[in-house]
Structure 1
């Protein structure tokens, strides 16, 4: 790693110190950076976005420093809701067509109170869980997060494992959970699974 690459981290580290004769040095050692792959003392300054890629699982990464704003979370919600509704309509239409062709003389199971087909609820929840699980487990982000430059990470800056992502997705099925991030930019699905949505450099 050359000096310029090292400075990408030093410039946002809480331990940095500027000395006119030497430039940016480590405030802990008083020496210029000399790490090759990562610095075990790296700690991003408040208000700065730490570079995550090279530091996954290697630093005391503080996700709260890079936490995505409420505005970005809201944009994520809008974009992902649009994608979700489109997918639900497509899957619902296809399922309805198949059911009509296979059982033309049989009525589908309905919810007595509302008259809504029960399979519609099953499809809706299944698409929601499937969309978020596949996107976040595969890419660390959904379509909405791609638009805003954010991603989901665990407390160490890693992309969460598939089991954690699946639990995150299930948590989204709780009524009104989608708006739970409005109070402090962390939703219930974040808190319940110890995950964070951060702005990624």
Structure 2
């Protein structure tokens, strides 16, 4: 399926693309991941703190000669992972639909727009960020999930670098572009 693309600037204009490449977009993603990671850590502190403290107490009291090593309660970790996923989507969708920019994109002077140059609606933002849900689910499968996750990142970078408008496959899903605001 092909989508209409905005016209490229006429000859004589600077060669600098108005569409940020994979490196700049990766840097914005890293900044956003740090933000979401911090928010997830704050939530996690309140969600799993008691279980972690209890587990450390059990380890401290553990006698390897009389019992197997205590194991942490993983259910809270799974819940925390799901909560962090929700934080990711809320952060991305709210920021993209209200400003067209996440904090990472603001820092690097980029903006997400639809084909008409407006900020995307929530459906378009969800679609363009849905790759992260696939990545998250793949991450739940040991080894194979890591390979699939790595493949998703490669596919994102490759499709950005091969598109004349530096669109990833996820940008195409949401019918959006990332443009420079410089």
TM-score computed with the length of structure 1 as normaliser? 0.56
Structure with greater Cα Rg: 1
Tell me what 1:144 maps to. Answer: 104
Deviates more, 1:116-125 or 1:131-140: 116-125
Unaligned runs of 5+ in 2: 1-5, 53-71, 136-148, 161-166
Tell me what 1:45 maps to. Answer: 9
Tell me what 1:154 maps to. Answer: 114
How many residue pairs were aligned? 134
Q: More helix per residue: 1 or 2?
A: 2
Distance in 2, Cα, partners of 1:160 & 1:139: 9
Higher relative contact order (CA 8 A, sep 6+): 2
Mapped contact 1:172–1:178 kept (Cα < 8 A): no
Which 4+ residue blocks in structure 1 deviate beyond 6 angstroms? Answer: none
Mapped contact 1:153–1:198 kept (Cα < 8 A): yes
Unaligned runs of 5+ in 1: 1-41, 50-64, 101-106, 111-115
Q: CA deviation at 1:160?
A: 0.9
